Structure 1
Amino acid sequence: MKSRFLTASAILAMASVSFAATAYINQIGYRTSDFKELTLFEGSGNVEFVDQSGKTVLSVTPSAAANWDGSGQSVQLVDFTELKTPGTYTIKVNGQEVRKDLKIADNAYGEVSKALLKWFYYQRASMALEEQYAGKWKRSAGHLDNNVSFHSSATGGSGTLNSPKGWYDAGDYGKYIVNSGISTYTLLSLYEHFPAYFDNLKWNIPAEGNLPDLLAEIKYNLDWMLTMQASDGGVYHKLTTLQFCGTVMPNEDIDKRYVIGKSTTATLDFAGVMAVAARVYEKFDATFAAKALEAAKKAYAWGSANPNVYYNQPRDVATGTYADNNAKDEKNFAAAELFVTTKDASYAAQGASGAIPGWAEMSGLVTYTKATHAADFSDAAAAKDSLIAAADRYAKNASTGFGVPMTKNDFYWGSNSVAANMGVWLLHAYYLTGDKKYYQSAVKTLDYLLGKNPLDMSFVTGFGTKSPMHPHHRPSQADGVQEPVPGMLVGGPQPGGEDIGSNEWECRDYRVNGAPAKSYFDNECSYASNEVAINWNSPIAYLAGAIEALNSGVAPSFAVDGVIVSIPKVRPGLRAADGTPKLRFDNHRVFIENNGIRYDLKGKKLK
């Protein structure tokens, strides 16, 4: 007869299995001199950090447990900022090993930052991706788009249009002006804020004259966008087939392509982006800059004269809509950028907003522009107040749970881009105030996207201990390469379930009740949680790129009293612990402060 009683050792063994702690970390790594934090679930006792020789080099007491509404878990935060020596570490909780992949490095985000930007090269239409640049993800050219038909909805168009280049929008092969608008703006602003850093950063893409890699990549999409402007100044909404194609490579999608629709939102998005491009490219290519500015002015004039031309999906079209029946935010965005570029007071941008930017919500971009151009806008202070108020909420949210600014209500389609845009917002608050809580909250947001989340996975393909292997992305699905194209941020968890159904091509139900942050499926069927998109990659590319730039000793370039300020280097004594200059502001004057002593931007002591 078998004993009905378990030994004490067996009970303890079962308990250790059932209640083993989980440590959620940034799987790419943490910067040596930066803020560092992990999230602990079902832990008990101190968290120990053990080096490769087996020595415990740091022991930390976790914070009190608190419930996080995104996942329904009661978790603790562990601050291990004092661990500064580069290397790979084992994490132990109450003596039990919970993971062995904690990395500390001087340049932790360097490679992932470049990969996030290089992904836009992999999205190029109309050209072959050569092995010397694309490696095993090389492919033939598809969608030359040199003989595109005008759909009946594309008013004013006749014959065919030569409209090559541009980026594929997402997992499909369409090209959409509205989504190109915010994506291109975000990358342009990354360059505009950190030119001293990105002038010299390379990631192996084809050269474009004397342009830095970042501007070369952006110009590939700008060149396409310019082809989409009609002679009257209006801009066509999108260039796609009538239906989404199957799972094929770009050169195998041979269905007829159309220019479809013309809209106020597309036109004004275009105007704002071209206004930024005009000032960014002027020092490299004055002719191109002038062309962009002229296009911006024509588009703004058309959008102002046609304020309510909204895109309605034709009956015979089933590709992405990007429909938006409110163009006020797009007009303010275009006006603000045209005013900064031209100083023409006829471009009047109204108001400021604390709303996180998105393809249908451009007012947050107006807030960025006004708050960082104090001498140009009479309501710059109000814009700054709106920006800081929202940043304070995000920083408070990031102080618990998984350190991400999001709450359960922020988990909707493309939730990872919501997180990334919150991180960008927090960086703007840091630029304006120098308050490290905003910078640290932005770093924690990047940590979330790179592994410190309830799914314990990096959401960027090709990076991390565990990352998506089956994104909804046609080239990655059809190219015969086991690994997906690297550097893609997947949309992320959300409970909408738009891709769930009983058809063969639909997903099983992957939603987790009461845990929107766990409602994710790493499967090609899941276009609602596992697709990729240019407007999702651009904010995380900004977030990682800006953090790398800041930590290289480059401060953001922005307008203070009408003067563009750029600080390529400051001596160590004038840097904060994270390596960034100790910027301070007084009546829109910027200076550096150390131990109560003020210095100008060249490090000279001020009287």
Structure 2
Amino acid sequence: MLKFGLKQYIPLAVAMLSFATVSHAATAYINQVGYRTGEAKEFALVDGNGSVEIADANGQTVLTATPSAASYWGPSGQNVQLVDFSDLKVPGTYSIKVGGQVLRSDLKISDKTFEEVAKASLKWYYYQRASMALDEAYAGKWKRAAGHTNASVQLHSSTGASGTINSTKGWYDAGDYGRYTVNSGITTYTLLSLYEHFPDYFNTLKWNIPAEGNLPDLLAEIKWNLDWMLTMQASDGGVYHKLTSLDFPGDVMPAKDKAALYVIGKSTAGTFDFAGVMAVAARVYKPFDASYASQCLEAAKKAYAWGLANPDRNFLGNPEGVSTGTYANDDPTDEKLFAGTELYISTGDASYKVAGSTEYVSWWGGMDGIATYGKATHATEFGGDAAEAKQNILKTADMFVERAQTGFGVIMNEDDFAWGSNSSAANQGVWLLHAYYLTGDSKYYATAVKAMDYLLGKNPLDMSFLTGYGTKSPKMPHHRPSTSDGVAEPVPGMLVGGPQPGGEDIGTESWECSDYRTGKPATSYTDNRCSYATNEVAINWNAPFAYLAGAIEALSAGYAPKFAAFPSTVAIKPAVVHRTSVKQGPQLRFADQMLYVEKNGKRFNLKGHRIK
């Protein structure tokens, strides 16, 4: 008799036998864009029994893998097994089989796996340019006329001033045509940091956009938004909060949106955001245009001084008659920390140093995580503050690594499924890469890649959240140009917001959604234009995705940030796949018309005799 006590399994065995004829088919969830040739690889399996076979294009089995113990993933309410197939290293397209049944035939392995999605997610910013016609030579079938070209814009009374300013360029913020200083802050910083960390890689990477002078494509794109941000600084150094119409436009192309534009509000948070971004820009653009870099640095200093003098000029909500995005903020201390950190890095002036770091991943309303990056990666400048920042990064990164060992093998928990949940996944990946930069420990790199896996298909919705990429991707994002341009496919390279259970867009009006909530946060999503709560796009969501994809490609090409803890020539090795710490007890399995007990990789029949 087996030591684990077979008798207790007999009732369950009978139940499984009666259920066998109607059992659910297994489902494999994969990164639909692909996996890198020489690195760790993993997909998720639900309702699978027994081993997994991976077959090549000729139908020949090239690898057999044993799934991990099943673990429950609360956000989707599923029991999930993880399948490690890291030993498969030959480029190609493969099939996944369980019990002889082909679950899917789109498993791809390649080199430079994320280069195209990195370029696509960066090129999307070109498609979001205001005040510029998108020529067919660059935009293809998504060409369009210029929108919002009027330079003179009325100052709203909420700015505390009157008259007009000249303000053009910039990126449309999301699915609408507003431009917001606060959200531009974290977005522009993230893209600037991608270049600053990997300049040699991005000096040569191109994705067919009109580039200014001798600037690399990434810096040319960022400058379009920096130029707009500079127009939003008042003569006293303060920065206006946003540039929008009084209400959101209808589903029209930019050139058809004729509503009057206003500069609205002036905020401490927006001003500090501006100061931090301009301080980074001063460093990054100096080798290309010293005069522009100087302009950015002086603007940063002036903004910081205004922020210190006006610590409570908070934008708490829209003024009467305005209903566009708020980006409200009643506590700008994190933005001050960000601005002071970057100004100190750029100037060496200790008066800019601000104490503090955090264990929390950044978002547009919480910039202290970005300050933590700056301090941790500049140990010489920040000394003890850098050591504290590093420990904060590693503490959270270790928690992320542990989370990724079970469920869908991703970092997210139920609390992460808030508005823009996909940006949470991407920003968690960026955090993990910083832990990798600081230690050289490949477990952080491997877990960051798992964030990409989730965003590109290894999730309970079985879809890539990036338009135009993957076997199944969003077709109807909440994005006015994609709705009204007459092109069947949406603009490519957009990361949609992702699942979350808030249901803010559900209602009975013609423009609202029917209830798509499932009771589980990770599956509460609809690919519908009505869903601004799950299917809208935004510049601050695309930025961490672009950073994650671009940094992974740069690292794999042999580049490393100069501040990294490992040599400048990087050879990424497959990380050890960290298995769940849950010990796998006896498991009932059903395969090949036979019910058996499996324990520690060995199989026994119901009489307790070893069969394999």
Q: Same fold (TM over 0.5)?
A: yes
Structure 1 residue aligned with 2:30, among 25, 29, 40?
25
Q: Determine if the alignment matches structure 1 residue 488 to structure 2 residue 488.
A: no
Other-structure match for 1:393: 399
Q: Which runs of 5+ in 1 are unaligned?
A: 1-10, 580-607
What is the SS of the residue equivalent to 2:563?
A: strand
Task: Give, in angstroms, the shift of residue 458 of structure 1.
Answer: 0.0
AA paired with 1:76?
A: Q
Contact 1:24 1:453 in 2 (8 A): yes
CA deviation digits over 1:35-76, x for unaligned, max 9? 110000000011110001111000000000000011010000
Structure 2 residue aligned with 1:70, among 52, 58, 75?
75
Question: 2 CA distance for matches of 1:18 and 1:154?
Answer: 64
Structure 1 residue aligned with 2:98, among 93, 99, 105?
93
Over the aligned positions, Cα root-mean-square deviation in angstroms equals 1.6
Question: 2 CA distance for matches of 1:566 and 1:338?
Answer: 27
Map residues 295-374 of structure 1 onto 2, 5 A cutoff: 295-311=299-315, 312-374=317-379
Map residues 156-305 of structure 1 onto 2, 5 A cutoff: 156=161, 158-305=162-309
Question: 2 CA distance for matches of 1:431 and 1:61?
Answer: 32
Other-structure match for 1:466: 472
What is the SS of the residue equivalent to 1:121?
A: helix
Task: Give, in angstroms, the shift of residue 153 of structure 1.
Answer: 0.4
AA paired with 1:349?
A: V
Contact 2:211 2:221 in 1 (8 A): no
Contact 2:361 2:427 in 1 (8 A): yes
AA paired with 1:49?
A: I
Q: Mean Cα displacement is larger for which, 13-22 or 540-549?
A: 13-22
CA deviation digits over 1:146-198, x for unaligned, max 9? 01111110123x32211010000000000000000000000000001101100
Question: 1 CA distance for matches of 2:227 and 2:40?
Answer: 40
Contact 1:371 1:383 in 2 (8 A): yes
Contact 2:452 2:548 in 1 (8 A): yes
CA deviation digits over 1:233-286, x for unaligned, max 9? 000000000000000000000000000000000000000000000000000000
Other-structure match for 1:506: 512
Give TM-score scaled by structure 2 length.
0.89
What is the SS of the residue equivalent to 1:26?
A: coil
Question: 2 CA distance for matches of 1:417 and 1:464?
Answer: 18
Structure 1 residue aligned with 2:89, among 72, 79, 84?
84
Q: 1:181 to 1:16 in 2, by over 3 A?
A: farther
Contact 2:555 2:572 in 1 (8 A): no
CA deviation digits over 1:339-362, x for unaligned, max 9? 000000110221110111000000
Task: Give, in angstroms, the shift of residue 19 of structure 1.
Answer: 1.1
Give TM-score scaled by structure 1 length.
0.90
Question: 1 CA distance for matches of 2:86 and 2:77?
Answer: 27
AA paired with 1:294?
A: E
What is the SS of the residue equivalent to 2:94?
A: strand
Contact 1:353 1:367 in 2 (8 A): yes
Q: Which runs of 5+ in 2 are unaligned?
A: 1-15, 576-612
Question: 1 CA distance for matches of 2:257 and 2:18?
Answer: 56
Other-structure match for 1:5: none
Q: Determine if the alignment matches structure 1 residue 439 to structure 2 residue 463.
A: no
AA paired with 1:291?
A: Q
Q: Determine if the alignment matches structure 1 residue 380 to structure 2 residue 386.
A: yes
Task: Give, in angstroms, the shift of residue 12 of structure 1.
Answer: 10
Structure 1 residue aligned with 2:412, among 406, 411, 429?
406
CA deviation digits over 1:197-236, x for unaligned, max 9? 0011000000211000000000000000000000000000
Task: Give, in angstroms, the shift of residue 17 of structure 1.
Answer: 6.8
Other-structure match for 2:586: none
Structure 1 segments, 4+ long, off by >3 Å, are 11-18
What is the SS of the residue equivalent to 1:153?
A: helix
Instruction: State the identity %.
Output: 67
Question: 1 CA distance for matches of 2:487 and 2:103?
Answer: 32
AA paired with 2:170?
A: G
AA paired with 1:109?
A: F
Contact 2:437 2:563 in 1 (8 A): no
What is the SS of the residue equivalent to 2:76?
A: coil
Task: Give, in angstroms, the shift of residue 578 of structure 1.
Answer: 4.7
Task: Give, in angstroms, the shift of residue 15 of structure 1.
Answer: 5.3
AA paired with 1:62?
A: P
Task: Give, in angstroms, the shift of residue 558 of structure 1.
Answer: 2.4
Contact 1:51 1:57 in 2 (8 A): yes
What is the SS of the residue equivalent to 2:80?
A: strand
Q: 1:576 to 1:132 in 2, by over 3 A?
A: closer
Question: 2 CA distance for matches of 1:480 and 1:184?
Answer: 30
Other-structure match for 2:602: none
What is the SS of the residue equivalent to 1:197?
A: helix
Structure with the greater relative contact order (CA < 8 A, sep ≥ 6): 1 or 2? 2
Task: Give, in angstroms, the shift of residue 577 of structure 1.
Answer: 2.0
What is the SS of the residue equivalent to 2:381?
A: coil
Q: 1:283 to 1:300 in 2, by over 3 A?
A: same
